[in-house]
Amino acid sequence: MTTTMSLKVIYVTRHGFRSNWVVDANTGEYSSNIPSPTNIASDPALAGKGVEQSHELAAHLQTLSPPIQRFYTSPFYRCIQTISPTIEALARTNADSETLKIRGEHGVGEWYGMARFDHPSPAEPGLLIKLFPRYDVEYRPKIKPSVNGETIDELHDRTAYALHKIIEESDKEGVEAILICTHAATLIALGRVLTGRMPQDIGEEDFRPFTCGLTTFVRQDGKTPLGQVPEWNGPETTIPSVTWRKGKGVGGGWELTKSGDCSFLTEGEERGWRFSGDESFVATTTGPGLDAGSGLGVVVEGKKSSLSPTNTPRL
């Protein structure tokens, strides 16, 4: 049986500039100075700058062709908050109710490495729909990360499985373009499993996950998905194997056409990230102080936009 491949483009963005949160690497206790809307310390909202970025992103996303028909997002608050202005803007002109739903997909959620303590989970759908009325409580995530932690390889395997199922679902629904909102490490893994390229140096800066930047993947012509993949059997079970390495790519393979485009953001490229090669938190400070969002990698400084007020010539 031949599967009709309708999905042509996958747009990917990282959440906007967020509020800070830290973890004590000795105890596994997460904390933040600003209370989280979900009352989960490791689930911060966007900072003021991130809110501004999300509205600039929304203005840009409405100009894309083909237009976005489905929204998949990590269920953490900062990701849902990032894409909400886009969906609200589309709601004023779009009659397709499925396009206006927020599908919370744990498979594109945050990566926490191999810490000795349980890893944070996002809020439950029942709470998220109270905070975001367009959150789809009927949607069932394709896979959930292990609360016991993941190696870098397991992150890629989890992301590959989630993408395989999302692409399969999109083909069945007959949509041409989707958007995924995720986190830095997961965005890099996502790019690798779509293009089929795993670098020898895990820390290579092959994808550019700047806050609210836009990365675009276009499906390769003439290639078909590689066979059936078993269903995931639930938490703490083996991740079903998806063939993607050595140039194969999930869903038949994809071409990267834009990587971390921030040309539409006033402040340009901000707070990029890449893997350091380390898979576990290391206690390097006394007490809380390790930024849990960057402790497993290296923060990459980007280029300021020509639109930035700091780069505007004084008249």
Give residue for tokens 């949160």: 21
Structural domain including 138 reads 9-311
Q: What is the pTM of this model?
A: 0.92
Total domains in the chain come to 1
Residue 273 lies in a domain: yes
Give the residue, 315 or 39, on which the prediction is more confident.
Answer: 39
Per the CB < 8 A criterion, the answer to whether 62 and 99 are in contact is: no
Residue 3 lies in a domain: no
Residue 130 lies in a domain: yes
Residue 2 lies in a domain: no
Which two structure tokens, joined as six digits, stand for 120? 């944070």
pLDDT score of 315: 26
Residue 176, domain CATH:
3.40.50.1240
Residue 4 lies in a domain: no
Q: Which residues are paired to 181 by β-bridges?
A: 13, 73
pLDDT score of 232: 96
Q: For the chain, give the mean pLDDT.
A: 89
Integer Cα distance of 159 and 75 in angstroms: 14
Condensed to tens digits (0 to 9), the pLDDT of residues 12-33 reads: 999 999 987 777 767 777 777 7
Which two structure tokens, joined as six digits, stand for 301? 């400084």
Rounded mean pLDDT of 274-298? Answer: 64
- Beta strand pairing call for 102-104 and 70-73: parallel
* Per-residue CA distances from 212 to 128, 277, 281 (Å): 21, 24, 26
- 129-157 as b/e: b if 16+ CB within 10 A: eeebebbbeeeebbbbbbeebbebebbbb
Query: Is 226's pLDDT higher than 90?
Result: no
pLDDT score of 282: 55
179 pLDDT tier (thresholds 50, 70, 90): very high
Report the percent of the chain where pLDDT is more than 70: 89
Which two structure tokens, joined as six digits, stand for 87? 């969906």
Condensed to tens digits (0 to 9), the pLDDT of residues 101-154 reads: 999 999 999 998 887 677 789 999 999 999 999 999 999 999 999 888 899 999
